[in-house]
Amino acid sequence: MSEFIQLLISGLSAGSIYALAAVGFTLLWQASQTINFAQGEFVMVPAFFVLALSVKLGLPIWLAMPLTVILSVLLLGALFKKLIVEPMHKHGTIPLVIATIALGLLIKEMVKEFYSPLGQPFPSLFPQTVLTVGDAVISVPDIANFVIAMGTIVALQLFLGRTRTGRSMQATAQNPDVAQILGVDIQRMVMYTFLINGALAAIASILITPIYLAKFSNGETLGLVAFIAAIVGGFNQIRGALVGGLLIGVIDNMSATYFSAEYRQALPMILLIVIILVRPQGLLGTSEGRTV
Amino acid sequence: MRIWGAEMLELKDIYGGYGKITILNGTSFSIPRASITTVIGPNGAGKSTVFKAIFGLLNIHSGAILLDGKDVTRKSPKEMIAEGVTYVPQGRNVVPQLSVYHNLELGGITARDQSMVKRRIETVMDQFPMLRQFKDRKAIELSGGQQKQLEVARALLLDPKLILIDEPSIGLSPNLVQEVFRTLQALRDQGVTILMVEQNAKAALAMSDYGLVLELGQTRMHDRADTLLADPKVGHLFLGGHIDEEEEA
């Protein structure tokens, strides 16, 4: 039982970070029908911003991390929208998808070429200690990661639901024609979505990289997991992406211990196929298509 | 085409359309303030397109649009809202997952004074008690007629002087259509000017003050609604024909 609890908490911790990436994925889709196949690299690269700022430029880590969030918001949010999404969007969804795949490859190769092809140690925000609850030994970073990731998603939900700007973003996502005739600045709302995705990617990167080391190839797994989590949970719901992320985190952890470490990466795929066959709109998704 | 002075809105020789396709071919008309004017015409006549042109959603090639004598040609939707114009397009126009209250609030999203918006929400909920009853319910959970009432109420939030409403009867039962029409008449009585497109021509003209017939992007007839209703050419038009110049002469 104690092993089960440890695995559950560890899975929820990883899953909540996957959920951050998946939520960003769904937000971009809802606001602008952008399917961002570079999302994994968006989560990989902020870790290298932290390393470049702290190791190369010698900034303290407490400064490098918030600067990384700002850099990510600007580069992975604003610049991505202006340089890739806006010019490609008028050509349709497929050219934009191809462009994001190319962008992902470019980011990955640039990190490999200009930083290092080797995994780099990455500082953890939290002490590597454990809590003992009954027979279960629970990692403090796992709990802290879970709290921060969930707190970020709850804060995002509150922003979207409780502020006028958030509700304008929802209106833009759910019914852009109506938003326009009501005088909502649609382009600004879509831009906010991209900025938020940049911030979510940076937070996910800072939380997850201490677990895996900073490596140029981290985005391959993270991007796939974010995509699967978004589909499984429901591509048009933030809470769907959250549930999808948590579910995949837990399944991944449990399957490695109770089933087979060799097949742990196959199980999310099997889940994806089952969901697409049985409930194509996802666990919490709605068939109407575009809703926050 | 000018009738009866004290115009709220005047279109002068408007040419416009989508990309290179021209839909409006010299559309001209004016509508008096505190009145209901119904635009009728066959499919493709440019009825909805006229509304988009007025509200800044269409590429206008030439011509002028005057609101209370002020040139508002090519103003953006946001600027038109600031000028006191609101637009209720055809179909369902609610934000489905937001509450009724927050849908109403969006009607005042451009206002700087949000305390005024809160007061106006209370006022429109007094006008539409159903909305107060369901204010916390998601808009998508309302019936079609209730959603249309919500759209009309939301259009009233900034106390507009002109409402453009496109096909308000689509998808509504006859009773609900009458309810929406009564609401529009009550607004007219309060001084609001209403320009409406409606396929249900007879019912719409029966509750309107004026009517105008559009065909191929041009104003072919413009008169009092009861005069148009009694005109055999209007019946002919809606039986699939068109008004040619000889008939008009």
B183-241 residue pLDDT tens: 899 999 999 999 999 888 888 999 999 999 998 999 988 999 999 888 887 776 664 44
Residue B37's pLDDT band (boundaries 50, 70, 90)?
very high
- Type of residue found at B57: L
Does B6 score more than 80 pLDDT? Answer: no
What pLDDT is stored for residue A288 in this prediction? 52
Beta bridge partner(s), residue B36: B194
Classify B11 in phi/psi space as left (phi over 0), alpha (psi -120 to 50) or beta.
beta
For B52, the closest chain A residue by CA position comes to A181
C-alpha A85/C-alpha B235 separation (Å) is 51
Who among B57, B96, B107 is closest to A182 (CB)?
B107
CA of B1, closest CA in chain A: separation in Å? 28
Is A170 close to B95, i.e. CB distance below 8 A? Answer: yes
CA of A184, closest CA in chain B: separation in Å? 7
Is B97 close to A183, i.e. CB distance below 8 A? Answer: no
On chain B, the residues whose CB falls within 8 A of the CB of A187 are none
Q: Is the dihedral of CA A233, A193, A69, A163 positive or negative?
A: negative
Is B154 close to A177, i.e. CB distance below 8 A? Answer: no
Share of chain A above pLDDT 70, in %: 98
Q: Are strands B162-166 and B7-18 parallel, antiparallel or unpaired?
A: unpaired
3-state secondary structure chain A: CHHHHHHHHHHHHHHHHHHHHHHHHHHHHHHHCCCCCCHHHHHHHHHHHHHHHHHHCCCCHHHHHHHHHHHHHHHHHHHHHHHHHHHHHCCCHHHHHHHHHHHHHHHHHHHHHHCCCCCECCCCCCCCCEEEECCEEEEHHHHHHHHHHHHHHHHHHHHHHHCHHHHHHHHHHHCHHHHHHCCCCHHHHHHHHHHHHHHHHHHHHHHHHHHHCECCCHHHHHHHHHHHHHHHHCCCCHHHHHHHHHHHHHHHHHHHHHHCHHHCCHHHHHHHHHHHHHCCCCCCCCCCCCCC
On chain B, the residues whose CB falls within 8 A of the CB of A178 are 89, 93-95
Residue B39 dihedral angles phi and psi, to the nearest 5°: -100, 125
Q: Are strands B59-67 and B218-224 parallel, antiparallel or unpaired?
A: unpaired
SS3 B23: strand
Q: For residue A196, give its domain range.
A: 20-229
C-alpha A119/C-alpha A107 separation (Å) is 16
Does B159 score more than 60 pLDDT? Answer: yes
CA of A126, closest CA in chain B: separation in Å? 38
Is B98 close to A182, i.e. CB distance below 8 A? Answer: no
What pLDDT is stored for residue B246 in this prediction? 44
Residue-wise pLDDT for A152-194, tens only, equals 999 999 999 999 999 999 999 999 999 999 999 999 999 999 9
What pLDDT is stored for residue B155 in this prediction? 92
Mutate to test the interface with A, among B48, B97, B163 (most CBs of A within 10 A): B97
CA of A286, closest CA in chain B: separation in Å? 11
What pLDDT is stored for residue B123 in this prediction? 92
What pLDDT is stored for residue A260 in this prediction? 77
Does A92 score more than 50 pLDDT? Answer: yes
Q: Which of A106-115, A129-138, A243-252, B62-71 has the lowest mean pLDDT?
A: A129-138
Q: Which two tokens stand for residue A30?
A: 């809802």
Does A245 score more than 90 pLDDT? Answer: yes
What pLDDT is stored for residue A287 in this prediction? 63
Only one residue has tokens 């580069």, namely A75
Indicate the average pLDDT of chain A. 91
What pLDDT is stored for residue A42 in this prediction? 97
CA of B193, closest CA in chain A: separation in Å? 18
Q: How many domains does chain A have?
A: 1
Residue B150's pLDDT band (boundaries 50, 70, 90)?
very high
Q: Is B25 part of the contact surface with chain A (CB cutoff 8 Å)?
A: no
What pLDDT is stored for residue B131 in this prediction? 93
For A162, the closest chain B residue by CA position comes to B102
What pLDDT is stored for residue A285 in this prediction? 75
Report the pLDDT averaged over residues B157-179: 86
Residue-wise pLDDT for B110-126, tens only, equals 998 989 999 999 999 99
Angle at B145 between CA B143 and CA B151, to 5 degrees: 105
Q: Which of A53-57, B160-164, B201-205 has the lowest mean pLDDT?
A: B201-205
On chain A, the residues whose CB falls within 8 A of the CB of B96 are 174-175, 288, 291
Cα torsion B74, B76, B81, B86 to 10°: value is 70
CA of A177, closest CA in chain B: separation in Å? 8
Does A290 score more than 50 pLDDT? Answer: no
Cβ(B106)–Cβ(A184) below 8 Å: yes
Q: Which of A128-132, B152-156, B222-226 has the lowest mean pLDDT?
A: A128-132
Is A178 close to B57, i.e. CB distance below 8 A? Answer: no
Is A181 close to B106, i.e. CB distance below 8 A? Answer: no
Is B94 close to A175, i.e. CB distance below 8 A? Answer: yes
Does B151 score more than 60 pLDDT? Answer: yes
C-alpha A11/C-alpha A3 separation (Å) is 12
Instruction: For chain A, list residues whose CB is within 8 angstroms of any CB belonging to chain B.
Output: 164, 167-168, 170-171, 174-175, 177-185, 288, 291-292
Edge-to-edge strand ranges of the sheet holding B36-40: B85-88, B162-166, B193-197, B36-40, B210-215, B218-224
Q: Is the dihedral of CA A256, A259, A265, A267 positive or negative?
A: negative
For A177, the closest chain B residue by CA position comes to B93
CA of A194, closest CA in chain B: separation in Å? 21
Q: How many angstroms separate the most distant Cα atoms in chain B?
A: 58
ipTM score above 0.85: no
C-alpha A115/C-alpha A61 separation (Å) is 18
Is A178 close to B95, i.e. CB distance below 8 A? Answer: yes
On chain B, the residues whose CB falls within 8 A of the CB of A292 are 97
What pLDDT is stored for residue B149 in this prediction? 87
Angle at A206 between CA A200 and CA A208, to 5 degrees: 95
Report the pLDDT averaged over residues B31-47: 91
A257 found inside a domain = no
C-alpha A163/C-alpha B102 separation (Å) is 10
Beta-carbon pairs below 8 A across chains A and B: 59
CA of B81, closest CA in chain A: separation in Å? 7
Is B95 close to A180, i.e. CB distance below 8 A? Answer: no
Highest mean pLDDT among A115-129, A273-287, B64-78: B64-78
Who among A177, A183, A292 is closest to B109 (CB)?
A183
Indicate the average pLDDT of chain B. 88
A208 found inside a domain = yes
Q: Are strands B21-32 and B7-18 parallel, antiparallel or unpaired?
A: antiparallel
User: Could you give the angle at which helices A140-162 and A238-254 cross, rounded to 10 degrees?
Assistant: 170
User: Could you give the angle at which helices A2-32 and A164-174 cross, rounded to 10 degrees?
Assistant: 70
A133 found inside a domain = yes
Q: Is B93 part of the contact surface with chain A (CB cutoff 8 Å)?
A: yes
Does B244 score more than 60 pLDDT? Answer: no
Q: Which two tokens stand for residue B191?
A: 């001084």
C-alpha B84/C-alpha A156 separation (Å) is 34
Residue-wise pLDDT for A69-87, tens only, equals 999 999 999 999 999 999 9
Is A183 close to B102, i.e. CB distance below 8 A? Answer: no
Helix or strand (DSSP H, E) at B106: helix B100-106
- Of B46, B26, B27, B47, give the one whose Cα is nearest residue B37: B47
CB-neighbour burial class of residue A258 (10 A; exposed 0-12, middle 13-18, buried 19+): exposed
Residue B92's pLDDT band (boundaries 50, 70, 90)?
confident
SS3 B168: coil
Q: Which two tokens stand for residue B7?
A: 């115009």
Share of chain A above pLDDT 90, in %: 70
- Of B19, B46, B67, give the one whose Cα is nearest residue B163: B67
Cβ(A16)–Cβ(A225) below 8 Å: no
For B107, the closest chain A residue by CA position comes to A182
On chain A, the residues whose CB falls within 8 A of the CB of B110 are 182-183
A261 found inside a domain = no
A237 found inside a domain = no
CA B186, distance to chain mean position in Å, is 15
